Amino acid sequence: MMPMHILYGGTFDPVHHGHLRLALEVSERFGNVPVHLVPCYIPPHRGETGATAAQRLRLLELAIDGEPRLRIDDRELRREGASYTADTLRQLRNELGPDVPLVMVLGTDAFAGFDLWKEWQQIPDLAHIVVVRRPGTLLDPEGEPARLLTERGGEAVDASARASGRVIELDPPWLDISATGVRERIGRGRSPRYLVPDNVWEEIRRLGLYGACPVKNF
């Protein structure tokens, strides 16, 4: 059986325990296959990031230190420009070949706007889509994402049998942490400890990111 390749993209501004726990849950659901975290360079659907690409990458490196099931793929940072999922998947598909199961992970909130993504119709032919259910987010039953889920829905075991094409819903335990909330907390002079790994918080303070002040936020 060909090895599976799983990627989980995002801004990671900053990476927090919600990202990390979700990535591990996905890894376990697929037999402890490593999950590749893919930080984007410029997110197409939001404003500027609070930290630079290099700083966000450094925080990710610290966050996954010692966890072999989590890895970093920095291709979007190296490619620069707006980070479009279709471009990344097409590049990966060219590298992996046509037969390796390729899986991309996103939350229900992101999937709800999937039909607004660049070349979204091509994505299911490039990879399986794992949709992680997020509390409070529902799909429009008349929308394209719901139709796609109905037409291509499958189980986790289906992803290993073919290279792409399935939309698989997962409902793992969800840590209700947001990067926006972490940034706002730091900006107000409050500690984000236990929301982010300790070494990530130390580096945020060292670099003065998100309005952190070493004395004020100690």
Phi-psi region of 131 (alpha: psi -120 to 50; beta: other; left: phi over 0): beta
* Ranges of each domain in the chain: 5-176
CA of residue 154 relative to chain centroid, distance = 21
Give pTM, 2 decimals. 0.93
Give, as one character, the DSSP assignment of residue 124.
H
- In a structure prediction context, what are the per-residue pLDDT tens digits for the chain, which is 218 residues long? 458 999 999 999 999 999 999 999 999 999 999 999 999 998 776 668 899 999 999 999 999 999 999 999 999 999 888 889 999 999 999 999 999 999 999 999 999 999 999 999 999 999 999 999 987 788 999 999 999 999 999 988 888 889 999 999 999 988 999 999 999 999 999 999 999 999 999 999 999 999 997 644 44
Between CA 216 and CA 56 the distance in angstroms is 22
Q: What is the pLDDT, as a whole number, of residue 157?
A: 83
CATH superfamily for domain 5-176 = HUPs (3.40.50.620)
Own/partner long-range contacts of 209-216 (Cβ < 8 Å, ≥24 apart): 209/14, 209/50, 209/51, 209/55, 210/14, 210/50, 210/51, 210/182, 210/183, 210/186, 211/186, 211/187, 212/186, 213/189, 216/189
